[in-house]
Amino acid sequence: MIKLERRTSIGWFAQLSAYVIAIGLGLLVSALLIIASGASVAEGFGALYEGAFGSSEAILQSLVAATPLIFTGLATVIAFRAQIWSIGQEGQMFAGAMAGYWASLYLGGAPSFIAIPLIILAAMVGGGTLSAFSGWLKSRFEVNEIISTVMMNYVIVFFLSYLLAGGPWTEAGTTSYNQTPILAENFQLPVMASAAKLHIGFLLALIATVLCYLIIEKTPLGFELRALGYNPTALRFKGTNVGRTVLVVMFISGALAALAGVSEIFGVNYRLRGDVMVGLGYTGIIVGMIGGLSPFGALIAALLFGALTNGSLYMSVLSDIPPALVPAMQGILLLFFLCTSVLVRFRIRIKRPAHD
């Protein structure tokens, strides 16, 4: 009975019902929130849908909004599958954006096809290193990774604030905007669909999803990563350097989160500023978890949440419902999902003795 409890994979029907119940309850509570805020539910959800999927332009914008969430969601999947509870995606995204921007300062007149890969590389190293630092603290000093990643999130945000408000990267003459000057055109990510500025970051996110799937399911590293989650002791006996695996897993996770920063700064805003990224890392955790810690699940969740985020802007224009409804909905969905996935497992567990 206990063994069954520990299994992470349950039947597809149980999994599906967990989702259906969670989404149903989540929508119900969200509707209650809308009612409590004094607005009409039909109007609210209608505007949300319209804003997210109402036109081809809206759909493209939803994809743009989903892009950073795919990256931070994948970052979550990679770490959590190894049962490393890193919640540093937020800080690593900031670090990635900062490292990418720093690289761009040395790339002056370089053509796009040279500059952009280097910026992406620098960002991945930046985010990956920050993340690996927490991994090192975990394996070397047994510092809980949740705590160290949270602390680094705060440290990084203050560091960026220094750089942009009075520090070396401040836009000339305007400390109050907390931003850098606008990026030169050769640093901006190429746009694939001009209607909504859908940049190549989205394509990269799709590629990253497939790569993550391959890494987790088809490579020796993926085996170690999953084994780390199930049974680290057995892995150690097998001769694997567990500390090294933790570092590598954390580095990959951080590098993925960094790409979210690249996509927001170099693909959407064209200048480095903190407020446009706030929360995308934390939302990635919800994306990863609701995606069932699978890369494709995270992709679907990210597309859905991106659409919600995009739709919420339209909704807030049409109604009095604040766009903050969406982060609230996401949190509610996550909690219901966590409960129902256990509950469906419960049902299997309780039925067992009756058959024996």
Partner 1 sequence: MIELFSPAILMSIFTAAIGVSTVILLAALGELVTERAGIWNMGVEGTMLTGCLIAYMVMASTGSPMLAATVAMASGLVVGLLIAFMTVTLRVDHFVTGLGFNLLASGLTLFWFRVYTGGGRPPSYDTIDTLAIPLLSDLPVIGPILFDQHLLTYIALLSVPFISYYLLRTTRGLEVRAAGENPQFLESKGLSVSTRQYGAVLFGSALTALGGAFLMLAFADQFRPDISGGRGWLAIVAVIAGNWQPVRTMLAVLVFAVLDSVAVHAQGLGVAIPYQFFLMLPYVVSLVLLVSIRTRSGQPAKLGVPYLRH
Sites of contact with partner 1 (CB under 8 A): 2, 5, 33, 36-38, 85, 87, 137, 141-144, 146-148, 150-152, 154-155, 158-159, 161-162, 165-167, 282, 285-286, 289, 320, 322, 324-332, 334-335, 338-339, 342-343, 346
Given the structure tokens 């407020």, which residue do they identify?
275
Which residues are CB-neighbours of 287 under 8 A, at least 6 positions away? 69, 70, 72, 73, 76, 298, 301, 302, 305
CB of 20 to partner 1, least distance (A): 18
CB of 314 to partner 1, least distance (A): 16
CB of 344 to partner 1, least distance (A): 11
Running DSSP on this structure, what letter comes out for residue 175? Answer: G
CB of 329 to partner 1, least distance (A): 7
Comparison of 24 and 167: residue with beta carbon closer to partner 1: 167
CB of 56 to partner 1, least distance (A): 29
Strand partners, 179: 273
Cα–Cα distances (Å) from 295 to 65, 80, 268, 278, 312, in that order, read 18, 12, 24, 23, 25
CB of 343 to partner 1, least distance (A): 7
Look at phi and psi of residue 292 and say left if phi exceeds 0, alpha if psi is from -120 to 50, else beta.
Answer: left
Query: How many Cβ atoms from other residues are within 10 Å of residue 1's Cβ?
Result: 9
Comparison of 80 and 187: residue with beta carbon closer to partner 1: 80
Strand partners, 198: 193
- How many whole angstroms separate alpha carbon 53 and alpha carbon 68? 19
φ, ψ of residue 179 in degrees (nearest 5)? -150, 165
Comparison of 51 and 201: residue with beta carbon closer to partner 1: 51
Would you give the end-to-end CA distance of the chain in angstroms?
A: 11
Contact 183, 266 (CB under 8 A): yes
Comparison of 39 and 303: residue with beta carbon closer to partner 1: 39
Comparison of 269 and 283: residue with beta carbon closer to partner 1: 283
CB of 82 to partner 1, least distance (A): 13
Comparison of 267 and 306: residue with beta carbon closer to partner 1: 306
Contact 139, 243 (CB under 8 A): yes
Comparison of 41 and 211: residue with beta carbon closer to partner 1: 41
